[in-house]
C-alpha cells in the first residue's frame, strides 16, 4: 500500500472499509434474527433475515470477486429462505450449492435449501439437503438441521423419528414440535412429561394447545404440575379457565366450577378473575331446568355487567347477558318460542332446559306445525322421557312428516314442513329430498338451527300405525 500513489491507496482503503461495513451489517442483522428466533419472536426475526439478505446482496453487487463473496452469497440465500422469500431464494441457493467449496458455508446453504423444500411441502428433498449438516462438527448447524429434519419427518407422518430429531435440537420451536408429534403418536405420558419439563422454551399458545390435546385426566394432572412452576399468574388463570371449559363441555359441572374458582384465586385483580366469575354463572345457567331458574341467573349476570360492579367482569358478562336476555324474554310467536328452545340447546348448552321448553311449546298448542317437531327435538335432550314421547308421536302424530322421517320412512311432506318452519323462523334452508339409492328413506329430522340429528329409529312393531286421536293429546309429564 505504501508503494501505491496516495490517492489510489486511499480509494482502495475506502472501498475495503465500505465492503467490510456492509458485510458486518449483514452479519449483525443475521445475528439479531437468530436471537429473536430463540426468544420466540418469529415475525421480527423474519424481518431481520430480510434485512440481512438485502445487505448481503449489496455486497455481491458491489464486490462480486472479493474474498468474502461466497459468505455474502450464502448469507443472502440463508436470509431469503428464513424470511420466507423462497421463490427469490431459489437461484442464490442453487448457485451457492454449486460453486461454494468451504464445508461450513455449504452446510448453511443446505439448511437454506431444506428450509425452502419444507415450505414447498417437499420433505424428502429437505432430508437430502440436510445430510451434511446432520453430520456437522458445528453444534449450531447440527441443532438447526435436527429441527428441520424433525419437521420433514413430521410431514411424512414419521412421528417417532420426528420426536427423536426434535429432542436432539436446541432450537426453541423444537420443544413444541416434540410435544406435538408425541401427541400425534398418542404417546400421552411422554407428551405430558415433555410439557411439564419445557419451562420457558414453550410459549403460552403452545402450552395451551398441548394441554387441550391431552385427555381430560392427564391434562388435569399436567396442569396442576405446571401451576407449581413459575408461570405468570394471568397465564395460570387462563389455563385454569380453559380447563374449566373442557370440564363444562364434558358436563362435569363440579369440576368446571372448581377450576373457575381456582382461576379467580390465582389472579384476583386481573380481568381473568371476572371471566372466571362469569363462567361460574354460566355453569349454573347450564344446569337450570326451568325458565324461572334461568331468570335468577340472568339477574346475577346483569349485576356483574354493571360498571359499578368493579369493571373486572363487565366485558366478560355482556356476551352471556345478551344470550340470557334472549332466553328470558317472552316471545310473541311460536317461532320465537322454538328459537328460544334452540338457543337454550345450541348456544347455552342446557339440554334439560331446552327439552322443557320444547315440551312446553308442544303442550301449549298441540295442533301447531311446531308441536311434532318440538317433540322430536326433545327426544335427544330428555332420554328418561323418550319412551313416552315416542308413544305420543305414534299415537297423536303418526302421520306427521317428522314422525315418519324419524322412522326412516319416505315422506314427501317432510321437505315442505321444514321449509314452512324455516320461513317462520326466518332461516334460509336447502330443500330436503330423498337421495337415490336410499330405498326411499329420508334422514331423521335434524337440528342446529332446525332440530336434532337423530339416528333413524327401527320401524315400530308390525301393528298398523295409529291415526291421530281427536282432541288434545297428552304431553309427557313435565314436572
Block mean pLDDT (10 aa), the chain, length 479? 44 47 83 88 90 87 78 92 94 94 95 96 97 95 97 97 97 95 96 93 93 96 94 95 96 97 92 92 96 95 77 76 94 90 95 95 89 91 93 90 81 69 60 38 40 36 35 41
Between CA 388 and CA 55 the distance in angstroms is 79
Q: How high is the pLDDT of residue 451?
A: 37
Nearest CA to 169 out of 193, 198, 196, 140 is that of 140
pLDDT in tens, 187-208: 999 999 999 999 888 999 999 9
Nearest CA to 405 out of 397, 414, 396 is that of 414
Q: How high is the pLDDT of residue 249?
A: 94
Cβ(379)–Cβ(393) below 8 Å: no
State the CB neighbour count (10 A cutoff) for residue 139. Answer: 9
pLDDT in tens, 51-92: 998 888 888 887 777 777 898 999 999 999 999 999 999 999
CA angle 242, 276, 316 (to 5 degrees): 100
Q: What is the 3-state secondary structure (H, E, C) of 178-191?
A: HHHHHHHCCCHHHH
Q: How high is the pLDDT of residue 313?
A: 64
Q: How high is the pLDDT of residue 432?
A: 43
Cβ(355)–Cβ(382) below 8 Å: yes
Between CA 389 and CA 386 the distance in angstroms is 5
Between CA 349 and CA 368 the distance in angstroms is 26
Cα-based distances in Å from 130 to 134, 137, 210, 371, 373: 6, 14, 28, 67, 62
155: exposed, middle or buried (Cβ count in 10 Å: 0-12, 13-18, 19+): middle
Question: What is this structure's pTM?
Answer: 0.75
Nearest CA to 250 out of 293, 208, 215 is that of 215
Nearest CA to 353 out of 322, 319, 324 is that of 324
- Domain assignments of the chain as residue spans, ordered by start: 332-479
Q: How high is the pLDDT of residue 195?
A: 96
Between CA 460 and CA 13 the distance in angstroms is 99
Nearest CA to 257 out of 273, 244, 243 is that of 244
Between CA 392 and CA 247 the distance in angstroms is 35
Q: How high is the pLDDT of residue 307?
A: 72
Between CA 65 and CA 49 the distance in angstroms is 24
**Phi/psi-derived region of residue 232, left when phi > 0, alpha when psi is between -120 and 50, beta in every other case:** beta
Amino acid at each position: 500500500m505504501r508503494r501505491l500513489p496516495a490517492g489510489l491507496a486511499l480509494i482502495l482503503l475506502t472501498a475495503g472499509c465500505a465492503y467490510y461495513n456492509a458485510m458486518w451489517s449483514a452479519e449483525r442483522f443475521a445475528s439479531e434474527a437468530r436471537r429473536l428466533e430463540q426468544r420466540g419472536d418469529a415475525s421480527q426475526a423474519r424481518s431481520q433475515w430480510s434485512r440481512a439478505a438485502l445487505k448481503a446482496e449489496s455486497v455481491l453487487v458491489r464486490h462480486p470477486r472479493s474474498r468474502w463473496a461466497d459468505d455474502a452469497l450464502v448469507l443472502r440465500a440463508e436470509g431469503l429462505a428464513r424470511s420466507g422469500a423462497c421463490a427469490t431464494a431459489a437461484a442464490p441457493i442453487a448457485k451457492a450449492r454449486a460453486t461454494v467449496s468451504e464445508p461450513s458455508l455449504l452446510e448453511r446453504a443446505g439448511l437454506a435449501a431444506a428450509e425452502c423444500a419444507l415450505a414447498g411441502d417437499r420433505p424428502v428433498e429437505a432430508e437430502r439437503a440436510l445430510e451434511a449438516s446432520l453430520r456437522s462438527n458445528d453444534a449450531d448447524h447440527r441443532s438447526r438441521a435436527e429441527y428441520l429434519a424433525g419437521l420433514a419427518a413430521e410431514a411424512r407422518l414419521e412421528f417417532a423419528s420426528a420426536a427423536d430429531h426434535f429432542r436432539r435440537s436446541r432450537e426453541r420451536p423444537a420443544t413444541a414440535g416434540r410435544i406435538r408429534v408425541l401427541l400425534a403418536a398418542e404417546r400421552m405420558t411422554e407428551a405430558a412429561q415433555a410439557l411439564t419439563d419445557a419451562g420457558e422454551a414453550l410459549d403460552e399458545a403452545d402450552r395451551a394447545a398441548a394441554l387441550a390435546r391431552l385427555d381430560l385426566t392427564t391434562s388435569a394432572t399436567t396442569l396442576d404440575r405446571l401451576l407449581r412452576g413459575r408461570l405468570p399468574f394471568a397465564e395460570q388463570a387462563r389455563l385454569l379457565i380453559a380447563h374449566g371449559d373442557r370440564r363444562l363441555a364434558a358436563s362435569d359441572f363440579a369440576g368446571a366450577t372448581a377450576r373457575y374458582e381456582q382461576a379467580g384465586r390465582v389472579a384476583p385483580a386481573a380481568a381473568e378473575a371476572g371471566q372466571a366469575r362469569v363462567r361460574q354463572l354460566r355453569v349454573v345457567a347450564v344446569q337450570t331446568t326451568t325458565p324461572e331458574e334461568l331468570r335468577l341467573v340472568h339477574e346475577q349476570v346483569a349485576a356483574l355487567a354493571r360498571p359499578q360492579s368493579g369493571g373486572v367482569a363487565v366485558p366478560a358478562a355482556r356476551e352471556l347477558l345478551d344470550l340470557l336476555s334472549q332466553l328470558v324474554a317472552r316471545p310473541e310467536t311460536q317461532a320465537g318460542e322454538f328459537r328460544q328452545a334452540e338457543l337454550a340447546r345450541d348456544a347455552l348448552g342446557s339440554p334439560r332446559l331446552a327439552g322443557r321448553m320444547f315440551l312446553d311449546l308442544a303442550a301449549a298448542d298441540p295442533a301447531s306445525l311446531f308441536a311434532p317437531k318440538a317433540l322430536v327435538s326433545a327426544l335427544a335432550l330428555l332420554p328418561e322421557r323418550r319412551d313416552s314421547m315416542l308413544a305420543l308421536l305414534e299415537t297423536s302424530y303418526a302421520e306427521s312428516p317428522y314422525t315418519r322421517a324419524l322412522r326412516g320412512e319416505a315422506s314427501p311432506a317432510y321437505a315442505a314442513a321444514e321449509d314452512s318452519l324455516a320461513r317462520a323462523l326466518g332461516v334460509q334452508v336447502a330443500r330436503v329430498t330423498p337421495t337415490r339409492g336410499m330405498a326411499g328413506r329420508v334422514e331423521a329430522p335434524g337440528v342446529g338451527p332446525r332440530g336434532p340429528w337423530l339416528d333413524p329409529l327401527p320401524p315400530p312393531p308390525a301393528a298398523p300405525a295409529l291415526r291421530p286421536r281427536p282432541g288434545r293429546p297428552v304431553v309427557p309429564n313435565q314436572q
